[in-house]
Amino acid sequence: MAASLHGRAQENIYKFDIGASLGMSGYLGDANTSSLLKHPGFVGEGSFRYIANARWAIRATLGMLTLSGNTEDMTNVNPGGAHYSFSSTVYDLGGRVEFNFLPYGIGETYKKLSRISPYLTVGAGACLSSSGGETAVAPTLVMGAGVKFKLKPRLNLMAEFTMTKAFGDKVDGPYLNDLTGIKTNFFKNTDWYSRLTVGFSYEFGERCTTCHYVD
């Protein structure tokens, strides 16, 4: 009986987790077309996750990040040789689906659970950007990958990289649209931002479990 109780205590019996992460943001757009490492910014993010099973999860995120860029760093030449720079604050709200490559968890050895697993994530949402005294809202599409490590049955450590496509051309402010004179539209624009983060999450919400005991 003691062994049975100990085994159950190690099972994946929680269906939610809440987490936080910090890291570096990057920007690609009218004021930077080459490298996400130019003018890195700060990102902070909170998340709430529904753990469907050891492979799949649904996650809601709310983040704040800073972005900046400067056309003086670019090899492309704008009309008239003009240079532009910006800095903006972006608030990002989204929902994602996560897929773990390995069955993630502790215990339940018959399921061959792994304490570490790489994963993929994809989702959609919206962002609110503020730059130059102006604000703009745009729908977003996010794609990324990461790795999870279970420190304890309820505590997880994660590292993640995501790229977000903003379907709007004002994440970098209202004054950098069409710098080269080439028009963009809702589906074809230049604003992307990235997030490279490290964070943790804590699981809660015990599942209803039934012990099937065979004498």
Tens of pLDDT, residues 118-135: 999 999 999 999 988 889
Q: How many CA atoms lie within 13 A of 102 on its CB side?
A: 15
- Span of 41-45, 120-124, 185-189, 192-196 with lowest mean pLDDT: 185-189
Q: What is the pLDDT of residue 83?
A: 63
pLDDT at residue number 184:
53
pLDDT tens column, 26-74: 998 877 777 888 889 999 999 999 999 999 999 999 999 999 887 776 5
d(CA 60, CA 95): 4
pLDDT in the model for residue 210? 60
Q: Can you give the pLDDT at residue 1?
A: 40
Specify whether the CB–CB gap between 93 and 46 falls below 8 A: no
Q: Distance (Å, rounded) from C-alpha 102 to C-alpha 117?
A: 5
pLDDT, tens digit, for every residue of 72-108? 765 555 545 556 778 999 999 999 999 999 999 987 6
SS3 129: strand
pLDDT at residue 165 above 90? Answer: yes
Contact 106, 149 (CB under 8 A): no
pLDDT digits (tens, 9 = 90+) for 7-29: 444 456 799 999 999 999 999 88
Q: How confident is the model at residue 191 (pLDDT cuts 50, 70, 90)?
A: confident
Q: Which domains does the chain have, with CATH numbers?
A: 13-71+82-206 (2.40.160.20)
Burial of 26 by CB count in 10 Å (0-12 exposed, 13-18 middle, 19+ buried)? buried
Enter the tokens of residue 26: 């990057």
pLDDT number for residue 155: 97
How confident is the prediction for the chain on average, in pLDDT? Answer: 83
What string of DSSP letters covers 68-106? EEEGGG-SS--GGG---EEEEEEEEEEEEEEEESS-B-S
CA 200 – CA 19 distance, rounded (Å): 5
Q: Which amino acid is at 190?
A: T
CA–CA separation, 29 vs 42, rounded Å? 17
What pLDDT score was predicted for residue 73?
A: 65
